Amino acid sequence: MLKNKNIILGVCGSIAAYKAALLLRLLIKAEANVQVIMTRDAVNFITPLTLSTLSKRPVLTDYFDTKTGEWNNHVELGLWADLILVAPASANSLAKFASGICDNLLSAVYLSARCPVYFAPAMDLDMWAHPATQTNIERLKSYGNHLIQPGSGELASGLIGEGRLAEPYEILEAILNTQSNQQQFKGKKVLVTAGPTHEAIDPVRFIGNHSSGKMGIAIARVFHTLGADVTLISGPTSEHAPEGVNLIKITSAQELLNACLDNFPHADITIMSAAVADYRPKVVAEEKIKKNTDSMTIELEKTTDILKTLGSKKKEKQILVGFALETHNEIENAKDKLEKKNLDFIVLNSLQDEGAGFAGNQNKITIINRAGEHFQFKLKSKLEVAQDIAQHTLTLL
């Protein structure tokens, strides 16, 4: 599966760096092309000569060779790579990656890359458990990177606990498992909606909501990674759509309806995660409304129920998924929505869950299917929630 793949192996300063030689041998045996990049601290734990001999390529540590002046182009390296693996990944390097600090060749290549990135942490147990490290881990995962969980056991400090680098065969196995699952939706057309809608009051004001679009964009990213042909219809958001996804930008509920009606007939799977306005101003002022009175009344009219409209048009083999954001009677209201709108399953969000919601990077969901079964998930990053939604969708295919 890794044959002829271009892999960058990043090695950071850690006593576990000696395992990089064993890991490199496994990658070479898998017939991958491996370029090793070491941080300056890493060379104190294992020599570049060892890794250069095994990879049959010069090991890179700096932006340029001080003797020859030859530049190691971080942009070209990032584009060359089909996969980046950082093992061991130190707490210091994880912090740099998470924050976008670019003070060495490895972090510059990471920021330039467009390929999947895996990191296998290695550090002492208190460093691993520290809130700063865990926050960096969650941030990296929210960017779409893959964590290879550290193991537990005796550490270099003499303490016993979590933080030791996963064994080389475990790291390779984790990569192979991910790669083998990446084409589960190959050949499927997936339609995803994301973000809010803005309903104009006048040329400068609108009615909207707090949706950031993060959840829908994470869903689009996951399905694209799993091989699907993804179309993302997105309302106004500062989030960037995943590369390779067909993006359709909309503003209002009517524009969202039109885009959905155009694309829904061709979709095998539709995930409606957008937060659509239920009402819009009946009359939109052509000019900015002046502040001439102490109060103002805006008459509203109902928008078209897009989810119900699509449910009425759904063909037998199409999968339609809706979202429900509730503040009370959550399960009952979600079940009612599931039935009335002809959904295959519904994703329930609760505003009662601390840490979950519109603007953040985490969410906590319950999936309810047509049989009335509930699948509750703990608080996770929105990317992990998107993965759970994709895996549940897979059970329906």
Catalytic center residues = 209
The β-bridge partners of 160 are 154
